[in-house]
Structure 1
Amino acid sequence: MIKLLNIYSTSFWKLIQKLFKSKGEGLLLVGKMMMVILLVVGKSEGRAQEVEALRVGDYVPKDFWNQKVKIYNQGDTSVIELSKYRGKSLLIDFWASWCGYCVQGFPKLVEIQEGYRNHLNILLVNSSYTKDTFNKIHTMRNAILRENDLTTAFMDDYFIQLFPHGPIPHYVWINPKGRIAGITFREFVNERMMEEFINKNLKNENIN
């Protein structure tokens, strides 16, 4: 089952401290991470007056599928309506061009998208706070977005209001009915979890 990992939990911070304790960098690193998370989430909360933040179990707003977003796909840009992704399971991946760990996960997303194309949509989301522009995305050293059909929204201010977060990559799992099934880190994004997610949706959701 896909679980929500609370980044503010005591166990999470203890884990971070344990990982870096041997280098004597634990407290300093944790302090820096907390400052970054608070800054990012604080900015998101400042915009959340217009759009209410969602949690696992919530449904996307009624006008979600009517929203228009700017996207980058293999060197081209356009504005699309989110209704394009309606009716299938949807995985949203928040990322930034300067996040190496984010980009390292893209090949796996390409594989998953190819393997489950009939039942799954994947949308990368690059929020405005990352300061990424078309040029920064298009000229990344890693050419995976230029060479593969993996679409990203960019300069986004909408998704970040619905799903405010700290560390990236940050994944949101939405079932075909528009319900938030999970919010996870990258470790959960694999074929086994994706197959379980899709099969559960096909079994339990009556898609019209």
Structure 2
Amino acid sequence: MKKLTIPVVVGRLCPGFYDGVLMIFTFFLMVLAFSANRVSAQERRPADELGVGQMLPDDLWDVPFSSLRVRGTGVVGGDGSVVDGSVVGGSGFEPSVFRLRELKGRLIILDFWATWCGGCIAGFPKAKKLQERFGDKVSFVLVNNEDPVKAERLLSRRLAENGEVFRYVNSDTLLNRLFFKRLIPHYVWIDGGGKVMAVTGGDELTEENIAGTLSGSEGVTGIRNVLDIDRKLPLFSSPALPGLGLMKYSLLTKGKVSGLPSGFLWRKDKVTGRNSGMAITNLPFWYIYKKLFVEFLIKQKDFHGSDRLVYEGRDMHLLQDTFFNYEFSVSGPLIPRLDSMMLADLNTFSPFRFALEKRRVRSLSLVVVDSLKLPRAKLGMKVMVSGVAGDFGGAAEGRVGGIGAADGGAKRRKVRFEKVRLRELVYLLKEKGLISDTVVDGTFSDVVVSLELWGAGPMGDAGDWLLSGLNRQLSRFGMRLTEGYSVLNYGVIRDQVVNLN
């Protein structure tokens, strides 16, 4: 195969490794590295990007990448174990140089990760197990393009705590350019001859898939390659789509899509800056409707009411466990009608129907009975739970919610509410597990308070508060919880009714 010359980008080079001529050459490589970083920041598609089915350029096998090795050991085996040395006691790393040629002939899996990526780090134990399972047939290479000190600090901690030893590429720009993806972690599978077999997410890292890849090309037909989707564009659309002339865009797909995160992304109108749409990716409809309901409550200044979302249907699995992707966007004069149009669209094409309803329900209301006793504080908000002491016992008289105090007594926890608005306090009492019934604010006050209350230990069989006991404490601060009924906003999800006539 004809050799392809590629620019070598190396984060740190060992002193004395190159002669004077190559040191001058390194200067120009640094210039190329800065250019590569600018390209990455702008998310342009690299001209020399390698795709599935392509071969690694010959030059790439011998690029000296900045790497790490376990301090005081020397050699790392193909399965990731330390050959001559021990990692017991948490010995750290020292700078080294790594070349892909060291692994030629085996399946190489490049693991692109970052220190801030929880999903990336959560995948390390799985990679370690697979590397140990397949021995010298498979090698994972962790590729990171951050500050090498930051990466080394995290890897050293993982080494001490979990004994995780891999091949490493640090301060990288070259591999990130050749295998560009917006989402991490992603894994590049390269066979022994240098062919790119797949570029996947973590779900595809299984013993079955690796064994199939090692046995031949037929074994990889079921592996799903990760898509590289730019969510700044309408989902799955062509870059040539005339976005400025887009009056309405709607899309709904069922099933998880590898390459998309789970979450919400508002669309913004370029002229007014107002919300003109929303992209919802890899989420069940329960979370989609919860998001829409919370947005409604915020506009109604009815905060802390997401627990008032209820399902009155039969298919909880479809609602809570099945992933969907949904986008709805409008422009111009349609923007003020965004919420109602999006809800109508969902109620037409989704498996469910959603409605906003007023319901009269039993509730607890926090009221002020003596404003002079209020523990006033300066403006600010900080909620802190601390301390476990004493025993909480007593009869179940006046219990709040469905869980009562333990018969023999339970450990109590002290909850400190520091610098909170009075109208928020009742919702924080519920959030921190002191009460479980529906709650409403009866103070209608922005007075800022700080106070400490005592409650039972972890919620469970020995968990909830007695209303009478909680009120005895609140009375010292001029407040009280009263039982009654309230008319509140509820979000109600029902199954879609299909008319077959």
- TM-score of the superposition, structure 2-length normalised? 0.29
Where is the strand percentage greater, Structure 1 or Structure 2? 2
Give 1:193's match in structure 2, choosing from 209, 217, 231: 209
Give 2:97's match in structure 1, choosing from 79, 101, 105: 79
CA–CA separation in structure 2 for the residues paired with 1:44 and 1:148: 34
The 1:88–1:114 alpha-carbon spacing in structure 2 relative to 1, beyond 3 Å, is same
SS in 2 for 1:60: coil
| 8 Å CA contact 1:170, 1:186 repeated in 2 | yes
List gaps (5 residues or longer) in structure 1: 1-38, 204-208
Give 2:153's match in structure 1, choosing from 139, 146, 156: 139
Output one character per residue of 1:85-104: Cα deviation in whole Å (capped at 9) or x when no partner: 11111101100011010000
Output one character per residue of 1:148-185: Cα deviation in whole Å (capped at 9) or x when no partner: 22122110011012111101001100111111110111
Structure 1 segments (4+ residues) deviating >6 Å: none
Structure 1 residues 86-165: aligned runs within 5 Å: 86-127=104-145, 132-140=146-154, 143-146=157-160, 147-165=163-181
| 8 Å CA contact 2:124, 2:164 repeated in 1 | no
Output one character per residue of 1:64-95: Cα deviation in whole Å (capped at 9) or x when no partner: 11111011234122012221111111101100
| 8 Å CA contact 1:44, 1:164 repeated in 2 | no
Match of 1:8 in 2: none
Match of 1:19 in 2: none
- Give identity over the alignment, percent: 27
Match of 2:65 in 1: 69
CA–CA separation in structure 2 for the residues paired with 1:141 and 1:196: 30
Q: Which letter maps to 2:65?
A: V
| 8 Å CA contact 2:40, 2:177 repeated in 1 | no
Output one character per residue of 1:89-142: Cα deviation in whole Å (capped at 9) or x when no partner: 110110001101000000011111111122111101002xxxx22321232298
| 8 Å CA contact 2:143, 2:170 repeated in 1 | yes
Give 1:59's match in structure 2, choosing from 48, 55, 58: 55
Where is the helix percentage greater, Structure 1 or Structure 2? 1
| 8 Å CA contact 2:68, 2:168 repeated in 1 | yes
Q: Post-superposition shift, 1:199?
A: 1.9
CA–CA separation in structure 2 for the residues paired with 1:114 and 1:59: 27
SS in 1 for 2:171: strand
List gaps (5 residues or longer) in structure 2: 1-38, 71-92, 220-501
| 8 Å CA contact 1:94, 1:170 repeated in 2 | yes
SS in 2 for 1:118: helix
CA–CA separation in structure 1 for the residues paired with 2:191 and 2:122: 25
The 1:156–1:145 alpha-carbon spacing in structure 2 relative to 1, beyond 3 Å, is farther
Structure 1 residues 4-83: aligned runs within 5 Å: 40=40, 42-43=42-43, 45=45, 48-49=46-47, 52-74=48-70, 75-83=93-101
CA–CA separation in structure 2 for the residues paired with 1:183 and 1:136: 26
CA–CA separation in structure 2 for the residues paired with 1:87 and 1:141: 27
Q: Which letter maps to 2:52?
A: V
Match of 1:167 in 2: 183
CA–CA separation in structure 2 for the residues paired with 1:141 and 1:76: 11
Q: Post-superposition shift, 1:193?
A: 1.2
| 8 Å CA contact 1:40, 1:165 repeated in 2 | no
CA–CA separation in structure 2 for the residues paired with 1:138 and 1:112: 23
| 8 Å CA contact 1:44, 1:161 repeated in 2 | no
